[in-house]
Amino acid sequence: MARRMVMEFGFSDLLGPLRYADNQEEVFLGHSVAKTKNVSEETADMIDKEVRRIIEQAETKAKSILKKHKADLVSIAESLLEYETLSGVEINALLRGEGVVRPDSDEPPEDTAGRKSSVPSGGSKHKDDAKDKKGPGMGAEPQPES
């Protein structure tokens, strides 16, 4: 992406708003081998330096953002270890410094109501029904998908 920024889109103060890439696109695996060189060695060197500068600048910024928000990342990671999934509402609550509060029901969180999960549900939807039944499965009945 950084190379395209420099060579195709002109996002370089050093090289200016010029396009250094060809318009031809190969559709087979030998794409990079089949390209013809259209810049001098000196220009290619400048392009490489600009690409490196952009990548290093982006890495520095990413590390800074991660360090700045480390407490939020740890909070979300710990909650994911406990609950496996978090809704957008729950993540926003964690970012506000609140905890994840989940009722003891089988109802999905507010923002996921009506969506299907990739994890199949099982058992009785009514806890009292499950308590009354004994034996294998303890009253768990398969739930048809709607």
pLDDT tens by residue, 63-108? 999 999 999 999 999 999 999 899 999 999 999 988 888 876 555 5
Spans of all domains in the chain: 2-65, 69-106
Banded pLDDT at 124 (limits 50, 70, 90): very low
Torsion sign (Cα): 125, 131, 133, 136: positive
> Crossing angle of helices 70-83/88-95, nearest 10°?
140
* Nearest by Cα to 19 from 36, 42, 49, 39: 39
Distance, in Å, from the CA atom of 144 to the CA atom of 89, rounded to the nearest integer, reads 28
The token pair that represents 17 in the structure block: 């708003």
**pLDDT band at residue 20 under the 50/70/90 scheme:** confident
Q: Is residue 113 pLDDT above 90, yes or no?
A: no
Q: Residue 138: pLDDT above 60?
A: no
HEC readout, 24-55: CCCCCCCHHHHCCCCCCHHHHHHHHHHHHHHH
Residue 20 or 88, more confident:
88
pLDDT at 111 (0 to 100): 59
Do residues 123 and 130 make contact, with C-beta atoms less than 8 angstroms apart? Answer: yes
